[in-house]
Amino acid sequence: MELKHIGRYDIKSLIGQGGMSTVYLGYDPRSQREVAIKVLPPYYLHSTKFRERFEREALMIALLEHPAIVPVYDMGEEDGQPYIVMRYMSGGSLGDKLKKGPIPLRDCMEMYLRLAPALDTAHARGVVHRDVKPDNLLFDKYDNVFLSDFGLARLRETIGFANISDGSVMGTPAYMSPEQIQGEREIDGRSDIYSMGVVLYQMLSTAVPYNGATAASVMMMHLVNPVPQIRDQITSLPPGIQAVLDTAMAKKPEDRFQTAGEFAKAIQAVTTGVQRRPAVQPPPASAGHRSKASVIPTATPPPGSLSSNGVPAAVSKANGTAASTPAPSVTPSGIQKPSSPPGGNTKAGSNSRPNPPSNRPAVGSKHRYNMPVWAWVLGVTLVILLTLVLVLWAQGVLSFPFFGASTLSASTTEVKNTPLPVAGQTVTT
């Protein structure tokens, strides 16, 4: 029986149908706008568990209220059929865009910077998407990306790893994290980050990283195979993008980016040239499930802190590479020129004195001023001559009228010509 109406909404056409939901394009006569109406498939209608999960998860998504999550307008049930009314995304899905070719790295960066806060908001409230893939990334008429299908993704966990009647595995094998494949019940937001890493790989190359003949073979690749080298296929990508993918798709959750925000900033760092690869920095101890080696991007390094390959010196050291030469300096005119190594341009094995890097002394350093030899000789000579003159003057050999030497001499002569007084005799002058 073809569905024509549900609630107050008119059904215009079928948008898509999957194993867990059917989505219609509807029209709301009250608000006079097109909407997307999601209903539970007929073969789940008689399951009380699925119906309760459908309604509860829809309410949870409605409470998230994030600009990058498809908003829920309404929810209800008619004639035993539960439904969810959401905003209609007329721009299609990311899967539709990938049919036209790869997505430029800068566009990927913009998308992830918008989606990351949405994922982090959901994860902070205990909601894990569990089915991040291109078909669940939708665009509105302004080409803004939105995350959809939170409720149904949570619904898939309730039926276990492979415990449904037709024998199929719940989830999409090409995008499932290793812990999701292994059927772990305690899955956190880092599982979504793994899936986002797979989506990024596909956006850049139009192909998923692991592709096999069966779902089981693909899932085994997620468990054991390393991340393929994407630059082997697209050489125009910056070298740092592989490190970002390796971190996002690490087999162990603690080795991945710990938040979607860290992931998005790492893409931004590689895209904008802030650094060549993410810097390894331990998270704070109070970060809960955060790992001991979280990969996050750093801010623009200060001048002189870059190694010769463009990697910050701290990152090069953390990755076992030393910065052999300093980064080029930038003159006021904007022309780059190589900087001299510390201490000047002294060559190895040379005994010559290195040229100082700058006329301005370093703060707190002591200076030694070297006087020429002639200055030392002249100074010593002047000291000797002055000493000799003072000695001769004191002995009366030299006389200096301006020092009162003549007066001193006359007074001395007068004293010498005066007879010594006899005892008891009064001397008059």
Q: Rounded CA gap, 43 and 47, in Å?
A: 8
* pLDDT-based confidence at residue 339 (cuts at 50, 70, 90): very low
Same fold for the domain at 8-87 and the one at 94-295? no
Classify burial at 226, counting beta carbons within 10 Å of its beta carbon; exposed 0-12, middle 13-18, buried 19 or more.
exposed
Rounded to the nearest integer, the mean pLDDT of the chain is: 74
Residues of the chain with pLDDT > 70, as a percent, come to 64
Q: Is the pLDDT of residue 158 over 90?
A: no
Phi-psi region of 92 (alpha: psi -120 to 50; beta: other; left: phi over 0): left
The pLDDT of residue 397 is 74
Sequence-ordered alpha helix ranges (H) in 145-214: 150-157, 178-181, 190-205
Query: Which CATH class, in words, describes the domain spanning 8-87?
Result: alpha beta
Is residue 200 within 8 A of residue 248, CB to CB? The reply is: yes
- pLDDT, one tens digit per residue, over 340-392 is 444 444 444 444 444 544 454 444 444 455 667 778 788 888 889 888 888 88
Among 77-91, 189-203, 409-423, where is mean pLDDT lowest? 409-423
Among 105-119, 173-187, 399-413, where is mean pLDDT lowest? 399-413
Residues with catalytic annotation? 131
The domains of the chain are located at 8-87, 94-295
* pLDDT-based confidence at residue 197 (cuts at 50, 70, 90): very high
Is residue 214 within 8 A of residue 173, CB to CB? The reply is: no
Considering the domain 94-295, what is its CATH architecture? Answer: Orthogonal Bundle (1.10)
The pLDDT of residue 401 is 57
- pLDDT, one tens digit per residue, over 175-185 is 999 999 998 77
Phi-psi region of 322 (alpha: psi -120 to 50; beta: other; left: phi over 0): beta
Q: And the tokens for 6?
A: 């549900």
In angstroms, what CA-CA distances link 32 with 8, 25, 28, 78, 332? 12, 13, 5, 21, 60
Q: Rounded CA gap, 158 and 168, in Å?
A: 14
Is residue 228 within 8 A of residue 296, CB to CB? The reply is: no
**CA-angle at 206, arms to 202 and 211, nearest 5°:** 70
Counting every residue written for the chain, the total comes to 429
The pLDDT of residue 293 is 39
Q: Rounded CA gap, 209 and 229, in Å?
A: 9
The pLDDT of residue 21 is 78
Q: How many CA atoms lie within 13 A of 267 on its CB side?
A: 27
How much is the pTM? 0.62
Q: How many CA atoms lie within 13 A of 176 on its CB side?
A: 26
The pLDDT of residue 334 is 41
The pLDDT of residue 18 is 72
* pLDDT-based confidence at residue 331 (cuts at 50, 70, 90): very low
